[in-house]
Chain A
């Protein structure tokens, strides 16, 4: 029987890193799920790129900071990636969780994904839900995660899962 939820690759950082990269992603699944749990060495924003390209990305998000709830859209043609947390930066060494779900990633239409950032810091923090679009008909073969400044700290874990519909 086929596995419907299978780890494709996982990375647990043994030392700080400026990015985490999943490459050579095969087309053997229907959807992808990426779970990133960790911390950063600087107060920063997290983003990802697909297939090592810098365009064309757009996204719409709902967020809450504990004081403000709002929705925004980012469709600038100059976007170089999709930000997972836009409003409140991560805290230095504070834990966060990001969950990214890519649908029909190997298909021939533009690629949509849903992401969720959860970063409570006991007195501050943010939760953000995104719907993301990568305006390309190419299959997704690479996903790269970045902090906009600083590094992912030691112990940060990122796992890419493959989901089969049948």
Chain B
């Protein structure tokens, strides 16, 4: 098997967790792909998930997204925030249903600001499902070496939530 698309690390939760971290990400790839299957215990259909890079909680994160809930499409922007917030299933969504997320981060070791894309969904066999495509920007020029999934307050990711980090080589 070629080493172009390589699993760096993964984590499937066997017990609930307040956060999930990929640390010491090697600088040996060109791009990163992050995939996750997410459910949490927040009392909502779309429980979401929050992500920080390099353990930074300063106002370096901004994003623009277009999304749809099955009835209409909207677009929203947020600038200079302290974390990214993506789509994921909460505890009142259809049982045993997890949201899905894929993030593509090119040139993660480069010295330019980090621009990437996210595509995420939270399905619910009723109203309030969501599909979202997002343009993301981190105002940092250092290499990415850590990615952390968080939740607000005392919320936790549910058992069975899974997280995979892949490295992509372009030559």
Contacts and interface: CB of A to CB of B under 8 A. Distances in A.
Interface string A6-34: 11001000000000000000000000000
Contacts of A121: 62, 137
A95 B2 contact: no
Interface residues of A, number: 41
B75 A95 contact: no
A4 B136 CA distance: 28
Contacts of A6: 2, 4
A120 interface: yes
Given A37-B115, A65-B64, A127 B137 contact: no
Given A62-B66, A69-B66, A116 B133 contact: yes
Contacts of B5: 4-5
Contacts, number: 133
Interface string B127-171: 000000111110100000000000000000000000000000111
The 3 nearest A-B residue pairs measured at CB:
A64-B66, A66-B77, A64-B75
A157 to B, nearest CB: 6
Given A64-B64, A120-B64, A71 B73 contact: yes
Interface residues of B, number: 40
B75 A66 contact: yes
A124 B113 CA distance: 15
B1 A1 contact: yes
A68 B73 CA distance: 9
B66 A10 contact: no
A68 B74 CA distance: 7
Interface string B84-113: 000000000000000000001011001011
A66 B117 contact: no
Contacts of B77: 65-67, 120, 123-125
B78 to A, nearest CB: 8
B112 A95 contact: yes
B73 A122 contact: no
B65 interface: yes
A124 B135 CA distance: 11
